[in-house]
Amino acid sequence: NRRYLNNTVYNLTGPVAGSALVKTLADPSGRTIKGTLGNCSGGTTPWGTILSGEENFNGYFVSPGTSASDKRYGLTSSSTARKWELDDPRFDTRNAGYENETNRFGWIVEV
């Protein structure tokens, strides 16, 4: 058994890998994702890997709440219930270098 948590490191693959949309201060290459959140629904591929879909990740983040993507994700400048933004700068996208952090969640994760 393995546990996959909010600090487990994943390699980002596919067309978005290396894109400016997923680059952050902690990952200037845009190819290494730290963590997976809100995993729900999943299945096994024919080749034996597991797929899990991330959902409701927006509840972990604080943001300005003004951009089109903030509004699409349902992000606001209000504190979150979990208050992770007080302990880890990546959960507050108002912090310089973490503006793209929310773009790094909400994916189908293959493990």
**Where exactly are the structural domains of the chain?**
9-110
Q: Per-residue pLDDT tens, the chain, 111 aa: give them.
A: 778 888 899 999 999 999 999 999 999 999 999 988 888 888 999 999 999 988 889 999 999 989 898 999 999 999 999 999 999 999 999 999 999 999 999 888 888
Measured distance CA(57)–CA(88) in Å, rounded: 15
pLDDT of residue 111: 80
Residue 44 burial by CB count (10 A; 0-12/13-18/19+): exposed, middle or buried? Answer: exposed
